[in-house]
């Protein structure tokens, strides 16, 4: 039986996309900020499964594409793929409080980087050099550092289902 996602999840993802693209712009380190949308998406997709992860990833990516400067479909593709991948971990991986959120954040950042590289190589090869910067490493570090705190907040708000996260 497939679980339906709570509208709260999609609202939080869209709110994170809006905040990340507007209010949080001044809070950057070397023109880089953590990808809260990606971090929320991987935790929600892990809770709900691949199909809902893809759906939420596409919706959040579309919002990011519409309010950002990236080409239409760029974030949608990346977040859809991440939603599917991390949704596939549902029921297979137990998310503890510290280790796995960091590992998931690093893996999600790597997937985002690889897919960004592929899309840029295909559609805008002259901009490939912009991907290989210190900012990329800073984003990896920020995502890894913030992920346990974000997961703790989600647990406090009862937006994680511990019994759904455990391995069967």
Task: Identify the helix (H) or strand (E) that includes residue 125.
Answer: none
Q: How far is CA 65 from CA 89, 99, 129, 158, in A?
A: 26, 31, 21, 29
Q: What is the DSSP letter of 4?
A: P
Domain boundaries 7-164, CATH class: mainly alpha
Give which of 143, 156, 137, 115 is closest to 42, Cα–Cα.
143
Q: How confident is the model at residue 127 (pLDDT cuts 50, 70, 90)?
A: confident
Q: What is the pLDDT of residues 65-98, one digit of tens each?
A: 998 888 899 999 999 999 999 999 888 877 777 8
In this predicted structure, the answer to whether residue 6 has a pLDDT above a threshold of 80 is no
Distance CA 133, CA 127 (A): 12
Tell me, letter by letter, the H, E, C secondary structure of 24-90: CCCCCECCECCCHHHHHHHHHHHHHCHHHHHHHHHHHHHHHHHHCCCCCCHHHHHHHHHHHHHHCCC
* pTM summary value: 0.88
Q: What is the pLDDT of residues 18-45, one digit of tens each?
A: 888 888 777 788 888 899 999 999 999 9
**Quick one: average pLDDT of 112-122?**
94
Pair of tokens at residue 4 = 């339906």
Q: How many residues are given for the chain?
A: 168
| Domain definitions of the chain by residue range | 7-164
Backbone angles phi and psi of 68, in degrees to 5? -105, -170
């Amino acid at each position: 039986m497939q679980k339906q996602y709570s509208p709260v999840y999609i609202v939080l993802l869209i709110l994170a996309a809006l905040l990340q693209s507007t209010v949080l712009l001044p809070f950057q380190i070397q023109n880089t900020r953590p990808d809260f949308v990606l971090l929320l998406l991987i935790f929600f997709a892990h809770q709900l499964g691949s199909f809902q992860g893809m759906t939420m990833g596409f919706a959040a990516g579309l919002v990011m594409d519409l309010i950002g400067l990236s080409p239409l479909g760029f974030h949608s593709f990346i977040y859809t793929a991440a939603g599917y991948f991390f949704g596939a971990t549902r029921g297979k991986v137990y998310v503890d409080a510290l280790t796995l959120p960091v590992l998931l954040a690093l893996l999600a950042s790597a997937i985002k980087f690889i897919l960004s590289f592929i899309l840029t190589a295909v559609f805008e090869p002259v901009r490939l050099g912009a991907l290989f910067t210190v900012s990329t490493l800073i984003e990896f570090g920020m995502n890894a550092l913030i992920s346990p705190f974000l997961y703790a907040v989600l647990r406090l708000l009862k937006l994680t289902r511990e019994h759904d996260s455990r391995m069967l």
